[in-house]
Structure 1
């Protein structure tokens, strides 16, 4: 038996109707925009009204624990940055050495070509 929804709305039918191809028993979810038995339209519900707070939040108070926590976070980030800087300097030194070696090899090849051209 077909679903009780219109043929155009079969894609919106409940999963059980589509899979089992039976009459839909879920009457609590009519298609949006259609009218129910009383002739009233089914639209979206109004969003809830959220009241503004009656007073602002209290200011953040720095105590010894929060200051120590902040100092620990800063120290960890500083240590991480120092480590990253050391790694970058090592890679740069390795890159500089390989570039220097490549230019040395290039000069040697150019010298050999100049000798063979004469």
Structure 2
């Protein structure tokens, strides 16, 4: 089970998350008995699948199919992904963003070493 606050995995049955201290009793009870929301999410996924299949069947040209594939399918993939996949996507986006920031920092540092009279870096 994953903590809803911090996303860390809890393998042992405990009352609180070891990483952030969130109370996990409500999560455990909701996982123990699926509710109407879970059932409606499953039925919504089935309905979306049927609607997309019908829309693809109605297409006449390859360019229409390409347009649907480019516009609709990425949003459907995000909707249908599991919580673990959503968590990994968030981690991946965070790592990419941090490396971009780190690269920009190194770039500006190297620019300041090579050009002491740079106006945009001098304070």
TM-score (norm 1): 0.31
Which structure dedicates a bigger proportion of its chain to helix? 2
Which of 1 and 2 has greater Rg?
A: 1
